[in-house]
Structure 1
């Protein structure tokens, strides 16, 4: 079934074929992925704890959501689709950067992804899909940084890899002092 396939890409994210998702993860073949980071107006990140039954990363904490676009699906459309499927909401998203990483994960699988990273803001209701998400919380960047230092094994490998880049982006968008209003 095509929906179980991932888009294989070269180092410039140019499509070179498709492969069944689990096979791509067993072989560690470079494929297209995306990660979504949602923040509230105070700059706290919406983290999710992955469902226990996920094929890897079960019960680990990670970014708001992440997945792979279907073949012939735009990456932005896939990010919106998964946000709705996993957390029951959608919001405006902006692609803020992309990067390539390779990491061994549980069950003898390898994540080798060209990852498109999206950010957005949201403060409404969250309705988790229990097949995808065990729990969620909004957490300050300082608390995340401390937890990554003291308990890194509680987070997914890709979250540990991407966090410094997200933190640098966040510093520019949320940590800057607001201009004072002239009265």
Structure 2
């Protein structure tokens, strides 16, 4: 089996080549990625705790799923593929924004991603893939923000960047007074 490749991009998300995924992470090269956020009809957000043996951010809480599109694969198509692979369901998705971030990890890897944030609504049964997901839960925006304030190290770096913008987009009534 051929190792998975990522799409290398410039700061405008224009493809400039491909590279084996781990090599791109060791070199810290900017590549295309996506993060899928799922809410239910109650306005709660689906979080997953990454599997404990992931190559980075193992055991941390984050959005429903995330990954990289394959070369030649549309980002939205990749979001649907990965949502099914990780969480065992699919739903309508649409892109709400994108951002670039860079995080260096203690194991020598660097996430340097042009991240497309995809949003969907789902209320059905979840069938998580144990190789990808240690746990999952739906939480209110207030509860997530409270946990992130108390235990910021239990969430992935990209979730810290993306969540405030997602909440703003959703216009969720977030209690910011701390009361």
- State the TM-score bracket (shorter-chain normalisation): over 0.9
Any conservation in 2 of the 1:51–1:58 contact (CA below 8 Å)? Answer: yes
1:15 corresponds to which residue?
Answer: 15
Over 3 Å counting, the alpha-carbon distance change for 1:2 and 1:75 in structure 2 is farther
Is contact 1:35-1:116 (8 Å) kept?
yes
Paired position in structure 1 for 2:133: 133
Flag as ranges the 4+ runs of structure 1 deviating above 4 A.
none
How far the C-alpha of 1:167 sits from its partner, in A, is 1.6
Give runs of aligned pairs for residues 164-175 of structure 1, distance below 5 A. Answer: 164-171=164-171, 174-175=172-173
Give 2:102's aligned residue: 102
1:106 and 1:79, CA in 2 relative to 1: closer, same or farther beyond 3 A? farther
**Alpha-carbon displacement from aligned partner over 1:32-78 (angstroms, at most 9, x marks no partner):** 00000000001100000000111011110000000000000010000
Q: What is the CA-CA distance between 1:175 and the residue it aligns to?
A: 3.6
**How far apart are the structure 2 equivalents of 1:42 and 1:150?**
24
**C-alpha distance after superposition, 1:53-107 (max 9, x if no partner):** 1101111000000000000001000000000000000000010001111111342
TM-score by length of 1: 0.92
8 Å contact from structure 1 (residues 2, 70) kept in 2: no
User: Secondary structure of the residue that 1:54 maps to in structure 2?
Assistant: coil
Match of 1:160 in 2: 160
- In structure 2, stretches of 5+ residues that fail to align are 175-179
Paired residue for 1:181? none
Paired position in structure 1 for 2:177: none
**TM-score scaled by structure 2?**
0.94
Structure 1 unaligned regions, length at least 5:
177-183
Alpha-carbon distance in 2 for matches of 1:78, 1:46: 19
Q: How many aligned residue pairs are there? A: 174
